[in-house]
Structure 1
Amino acid sequence: MAREKKPVHKVQMTDAKRNIIQQLLQEYDIQSAPTLIYVIGISDIIFTIQNSLVYEMW
C-alpha cells in the first residue's frame, strides 16, 4: 500500500525576505547549500519578528 505524500510547505519569497537573505550571504560569505538553507530559515524568523514589531506599533 502506497503512503500518501504530505504537502510541501513553500515559503513565500518577498522582496524583504530576499533582501535579508542577500545581506546575510554577503556578511557571512556563505558558500554551502546547508548553510544557505539555514540562512533562509533565519531570514524567515527575522522577517516574522519585524512584521510583528511593526504590527504592535500600530
Structure 2
Amino acid sequence: MTDGDRKFLARLVASHKAVISEECRRKNLDKSEYFRRVARADKKAQEIEQSCMRPRRF
C-alpha cells in the first residue's frame, strides 16, 4: 500500500465520519451510536490497510 493509498483511505474515513456525525445530528441519536458507527468505520479501514500489507502467497 503506497503513501497515497493511505492518505486516500484516511480522507475517505474522515468524510465518512462527517456523514455519520450529520446523520446522528439529524436523527437526534446519542453519542454512543455515533461512537459505535465511527469505531466500525475505523476497524474496517484498519482491516483494509492490514490486508494490503500482508505478503501474498501463490
TM-score, normalised to structure 2's length? Answer: 0.47
The answer to which structure, 1 or 2, has the higher relative contact order (CA under 8 A, 6+ apart) is: 2
Structure having the larger proportion of residues in helix: 2
For the pair shown, the structure with the greater C-alpha radius of gyration is 1
TM-score, normalised to structure 1's length? Answer: 0.47
